[in-house]
Amino acid sequence: MAAITTLESHRCFGGVQGFHEHASSTVGLPMRFGVYLPPQAGQGPRPVLYCLAGLTCNEQTFAIKAGAQQHAAAHGLVLVTPDTSPRNTGVAEADADWDFGTAAGFYLDATREPYARHWRMESWLMEELPLVLAANFPVDLERCGILGHSMGGHGALTLALRHPGRFRSVSAFAPICAPMEVPWGQKAFGGYLGDDPAAWSAHDAVRLIESGARAPELLVDQGADDPFLATQLRPDRLEQACAQAGQPLLLRRHAGYDHGYFCIQSFISEHVVSHARALL
Alpha carbon 251 to its chain centroid, in Å, reads 18
HSE of 56, CA atoms in CB hemisphere, 13 A: 5
pLDDT band at 246 (very low <50, low <70, confident <90, very high): very high
User: Residue 275 above 90 pLDDT?
Assistant: yes
Interval 79-138: pLDDT, tens: 999 999 999 999 999 999 999 999 999 999 999 999 999 999 999 999 999 999 999 999
Please give the Cα distance from 99 to 116 (Å, whole number).
18
In contact, 200 and 259? CB cutoff 8 Å: no
**Bridge-based pairing state of the strands 169-173 and 218-223:** parallel
Give me the pLDDT at residue 131, please: 97
Tally of domains in the chain: 1
Q: Which amino acid is at 116?
A: A
Give me the pLDDT at residue 166, please: 98
What's the rounded mean pLDDT across residues 17-33?
Answer: 98
Give me the pLDDT at residue 2, please: 77
Interval 37-92: pLDDT, tens: 999 999 999 999 999 999 999 999 999 999 999 999 999 999 999 999 999 999 99
Nearest CA to 277 out of 173, 175, 171 is that of: 171
Q: Which residues are catalytic?
A: 150, 226, 259
Interval 180-215: pLDDT, tens: 999 999 999 999 999 999 999 999 999 999 999 999
HSE of 83, CA atoms in CB hemisphere, 13 A: 21
Please give the Cα distance from 268 to 171 (Å, whole number).
10
Q: What is the CATH number of the domain that holds 147?
A: 3.40.50.1820
Interval 146-172: pLDDT, tens: 999 999 999 999 999 999 999 999 999
In contact, 251 and 235? CB cutoff 8 Å: yes
Range of the domain at 253: 5-279
Q: Which amino acid is at 35?
A: V
Please give the Cα distance from 19 to 180 (Å, whole number).
33
pLDDT band at 1 (very low <50, low <70, confident <90, very high): low
